[in-house]
Structure 1
């Protein structure tokens, strides 16, 4: 064996010398070896232009002599790859082998003939050999052999071999990889170099996969391989080895006799043509869409016939179709799932899937699906099956196998009405029992009457349980069953007493069960006591010598939540009425339990509730009215010990619109005169107080909770609900002027915020507040700009109810401005007029507001007139000199009420003289022209 390995190695090294050509040809396969004769990268092919692509490098080998290839590659990429030699193989020197097992892409691969088997992963990237080790089994001819670590070195590759790979973790390789990662993190340059090699190796593998020129040969070899294996399986007496080979080969999915059906995924390989070498889905019409030629119908054809059909369809557009190959990559089913599933429609599933797989892909079953009557529709044939029994037993025989284009229909349960939704519990639930004539109908004195799905072997007890059981008024001795048109009388009480299964009828499809009402449920007698009114179970109950009032009441279930326990009445058989306060007795009062006699009737009335007619039952002098902005306005029963907070809680408390600072309590005084007083509940809640300060209530009192005024911009009619003593006015340049509710805790900024703030045109330096709550109205001013600059709270005036706030606009006309608030600007400026002035402004600010001097302005003699102590005085200002030496201290001092005049050059004496000269020159020119 060692001699064979040596011969194999010499063959690999000497292959280039036996090449038929002395130069590199397109399509040649190249392998780079290191100094240990181990391949550095997988087999790589030279493209049709003679270029070898390694990672991001493109190396032109066209026309290079074979003997020079190794030196050329060493010179170009020797720094990246430790090349010892480069070997070029022809097609005849490569073996076609099949590799199956735990690898990512099982299939056909090229391997140099007579190369060692242990180098499978070096010539083709099959798995990560650093992290995994492979156990290899070789199938050659009709023999199978598992290779050991020793035999791996002796066995060489032969054409037609099949290799089964089983991977296991390489613990030492994992540790080495982790160590390399640590080194890479500490040495970025090494990390980059190794990543480059890894990327290059990966790119080479991808290039090998994309080397479609040799895929035709691969497909033919694999077809021959399958045919030979089929012959072996027929003649081979070793049945177990044959079954393993057939199972392995089935993963390739290349059976030429396979009939193409909708859902199959077909791979069409045509080397060199964009758009091919891809996967195509056979749609439900049995067609696939190919580039340039469009739809091609393949449904019902064998794979071999489909390949010929595609060849004919492409022959009118493409050349070089001799390398065309068609493979079935995966067999899938197209199934339609309809009915009571979450997402009905077509699903795509593996050919190994079943009905449960299809329903899961359709989103699963919806509540109300009837599992025992699913339907499979295949063409004109309908198969009904019990999916529920399959789920109960797991027996696959219960469900039919699926084929492409099958339709699964999931019906709804008869429990559902014709309107989508779960059926209700009363007669108005909308159940339509006519939809399923096989359903069991149960009605009468049952908890949930309705129509229910029939189940084989169903008894009347099962039907009653589906209906929730019988009610306490049912006549269980007279239950009627109509089955096959024959009425049957069933005594449930007798069955429960004896347990005789012979009395239990078995229902058939479409049976009807009726439970009548026990009309004689309440019987009279000498030992009967009647309980009526607001109890859990009113009715007639037997009494005796030792039966007390509480015993009878307990048999009736006790008072319900509507009972008025303080007003219990016992009606004697002789017509007398005995009053009894059960509430007082329960609280430990002096009340004694009344004696109950046969024939008595115990009546517990309804207490005062919020039912619409309940207020009619409450006398006015024992009730309190709570109206206005509360959750539940109305009349409420009042008694001693109930305070104001108790009554307010009974009414649900004030709502969001309530003005709890002005609660009104209206009572009746002497001579029937109404007395109204106000209570500040907000003050009591926020600041506390004595509980005795709460308003005293009594029968006939009315409590009114007023509403806060709404936004005046929304409804001006709401103003009339707010008195002027409770409001403050805000007008002028604000977003929402109007009347606003005001309290002592609020200030001027609160009012401005309520009005949504000032507008852009507002003059915040001249706000006016008119105070009207004194002996005489007075006006105060507010410079809001100064307040925002300083934060001085003393600048904000105090406001109260009845006051008015006015915010003027900066764009008001000059006649609305006081002369002592402005400065006049006249003469040669862009815009003369009156301008607002403040103490921090200068003449430059005023001229800027006026648009600046004109081109003919005499800015050397600007005249300023001001008034000091009721005397006018004037002086000039030279703007040109100031610009030469801009000293702010030299600017004239301005005051509100001053006048600034900028003269014009045209109005000087020199301008008059120049006008005369121009006129004279014009006359002389005219005479000269005339002459």
Structure 2
């Protein structure tokens, strides 16, 4: 028979003998059962009883089988599965193996829950947890089973190998390995030598050393040992030790020991006497207030604020670096050095790091360095920036408010910090309110001109902390809200009146011209007299008026015809058809006699007598057109002159060179042929009639 067949037969025989034993034993947490339902994949894996003694079955959930025999569990499982699965005739339930669920806690390498074989013991549980760690107490281990605790001496078992010294284990037992009382209450890595150094004296005469030492403990008393010897046996003091105030208790007499003073002087008289049973306590450095002749204090936004002992030659940077340096919230421009005499010196550390400053103040013992918190501009409280460090920005900027000022900044930096001007800002009239000796003085700066034409940065106004910057707002449409005009200075305005679409007051600067301001006022209306536009110049010591023939400009496009207008000037466009009495006689020509519409008429150099007669409606039917009288005003001291014009002859033989010359202020008279003897009189009248007789005649008419 082959060897493999023999092994299979032996295994089957063992199963026949062991199965009744397994079936008769009680089920406990950790046991593994095979529940097979053909055709159901959910039953292909073994099922293990959890720590609560439950099996979790598919489609059913948890059922508690702890403490049951396998046959009892078989009946419970079939009863639970019957409502879900119709055919359970082929369902088989068997116990695959028994397991122990053990928890190992305490001073082991890997505390946790572990599965052991049914014959598992404490040794196997500790091995499963990775073994013991240094500091474990071997002679007082525990096995906890519910509320019962069994102590055992594992060290004795290791010494003798007697397995009977180990308590038996059951599922859900807890093996606990306590820590040795020699290791103290701080978890550290150490070896056996370190553990032994934690103390070697008896409780009556040993000297107890604790506090900020590396290896606190009780040490045997030896005559001649000093406090320094005991501190060395305790591993020395830690970096947190307050070595200036070590406490020593000999019997009932406490005293203070300054280790630093002893090390600085080497005077053995400073060493306290130690008696058997003495106590030495090294406190923490933070528990004391440091002060002394060489102490320098650093506070505020540093990583390690506190009191530091300065030495000869220590600089500000040495002390700052010793305190860990400024934090990310530190305001490095506003550091304060508080002198012992009460004076305060500012330190701009950022300017020093950028090379703008070449020296830092000398720090002396007793001085205090204060590094304030950086100002948060989103902080609601503006009191975080002192008035002596702030500049106020108001008016037409996106973010008006108070801003912290530094002398490296300029007006452009400040306005940019405020978000820049908004769309309504009049940057040509930026107002800067300076303060000095309690007096405020406003100045105006043309930022628009600087931005367009450039210039030296030195021409920018000098800003200092405490100043106020006002960016004025351009006025709104005067047709919408005339009350807004008060926001605009008259010195930056042009006034336009009369026959324009929107008369009013308009913002103006030197880059704009006459046509710009006329366009802003929506241009002339249909009733505007373009040939008699008047500009009142008010920017000089005396007002003067310029006359503009705007119609001629539109006909020729000659820019030389347009006058130069400046802020403060006024423009007036008169009405074309206003009453003739509103016109000065020097600016019109009088048309009298037998004419359709006698009166005053505007006249310019491009017009002739024919144009004037046509504008007046032409002569009447009774007009005596052969002797039209034209009276010219005095020119260059020559006196008034009169001449006649034969319109009838001109109509038959046109010769425009024979038309009389007309100027503003002249008079044209058309006689009426129906007047008595008028025609006979006029036929005998010559062109050489004196001016006085004609004027008298006209005056009588």
Normalised TM-score (structure 1): 0.33
Normalised TM-score (structure 2): 0.43
**Larger relative contact order (CA 8 Å, sep ≥ 6):** 2
Greater helix percent: which structure? 1
Larger radius of gyration: 2
